[in-house]
Structure 1
Amino acid sequence: MSLKKASLLVVLVLLIDQISKIYIKTNFYLGEEVKVFEWFRIHFIENEGMAWGAVIPGDYGKLFLTLFRIVAVFGISWWLWDSVRKKLSNFLITAIALILAGAVGNIIDSVFYGVIFNDSYNQVATAFAAEPYGTWFYGEVVDMFYFPIWEGNLPSWLPVWGGKHFTFFNAIFNVADVAISTGVGILIVFNKRAFAGSEE
């Protein structure tokens, strides 16, 4: 795959990611949900930017995470460029491009959204608000895809979780997360093809 095609893939994923996030941010209030199917809902939440809503404690945890991601993006970009230059597997190049697009997509939220939008608590946010909800590098990542495929109480005989309420699948995510997960999935499932021809 050429660098041009890989770059177009990154741009396409970024556009879909940002258009979907901006639409949700400017049309939903925080916590609002639309049931598409019983097992698929659009549910607007925001998070600090780590997987599964995890948070780095302390005043500078969020800043550290964002700066770390920016540094990582430079590393991933170099990996993409180097893989194209060496004419490595299309599986590998596609996976790297998806991971790069997803990482940049969530970085955009973290860096810019705090100074572009006002908050979404009990209201629909507006872009370029007079009173934005945050500062540079302290924006929240917008998530919206929710697939509660099964929900109910687990049998009491199960160890640890027995008798407790359980939802499968309870993660809420965005297009950028899908891109990263798909890229990683390609590297795992098609490992031999992805790294065929790579240097030791």
Structure 2
Amino acid sequence: MMILYGLVILISVVLDQLVKWWVVQNISLGETIGQNPIMTLTFIKNEGAAWSILEGKLWFFVLITIIALTVFPYMLYKNRNNSKWLTVGLSLIIGGTIGNFIDRVRLNYVVDMFQTEFIRFPIFNVADVALSIGVACLFFYLIFIEGKERSNKLK
């Protein structure tokens, strides 16, 4: 099963980096393409996290990423035979973390491009999508699977 999780991680990273490469090659910094009421592509350089919080604190993000890339793979290996909600969630978090880490180390910023037009939301990238889905999977696991198992043990 670890091969499956490795593939989820690899696909997340490769897809993220390919989309970022395409955006940098085809869209000027600050330019928006694909005008529609749902989503457009806008190339920005993000030197922080969501909403550009902690902008310019590259050292902080590198430190947090190193910790995350130590803890999450250990958790994935330790729980490799547990629920797919947990293991796939961890794999997506690892893949998303690596995707943004590559940008931070290589460029000193993260390439973001997806802009929602129907709500005010930070511009994001494929790695952010992987991270968000991974966190949602973890929450689902913790609330509905592990929470239910613990509740049953207490009865």
Q: TM-score, normalised by structure 2?
A: 0.87
After superposition, where does 1:38-53 map in structure 2 within 5 Å? Answer: 38-53=37-52
Root-mean-square deviation over aligned CA pairs:
2.1
What is the alpha-carbon distance in structure 2 between the residues aligned to residue 111 and residue 142 of structure 1? 12
Q: 1:88 to 1:23 in 2, by over 3 A?
A: same
Deviation sequence 1:5-39 (CA, Å, 0-9, x none): 00001001111100000111122111011025222
User: Would you say 1:174 and 2:143 are equivalent positions?
Assistant: no
| Match for residue 193 of structure 1 among 124, 139, 145 | 145
Q: Which runs of 5+ in 1 are unaligned?
A: 115-138, 150-167
Larger Rg: 1
Considering fraction of residues, name the structure with more helix: 2
Q: Is the 8 A contact 2:36 2:117 kept in 1?
A: no
Query: Structure 2, unaligned stretches of length 5 or more?
Result: 151-155
Q: Does 1:92 align with 2:98?
A: no
- Equivalent position SS for 1:185: helix
Partner of 1:62: 58
Query: What TM-score, normalized by structure 1, do the two folds share?
Result: 0.69
CA deviation after TM superposition for structure 1 residue 40, in Å: 1.1
- Give, as a single letter, the amino acid of the residue that structure 1 aligns with 2:86: L
Q: Write the letter of the residue equivalent to 1:111.
A: V
After superposition, the C-alpha distances for 1:48-100 in whole angstroms (9 at most, x for unaligned) are: 1412211256xxx312221221221111111111111xx11111001000111
User: What is the distance in 2 between the residues matched to 1:20 and 1:69?
Assistant: 21
Partner of 2:153: none
> C-alpha separation between the residues in 2 aligned to 1:26 and 1:99?
27
Residue 71 (structure 1) aligns with: 67
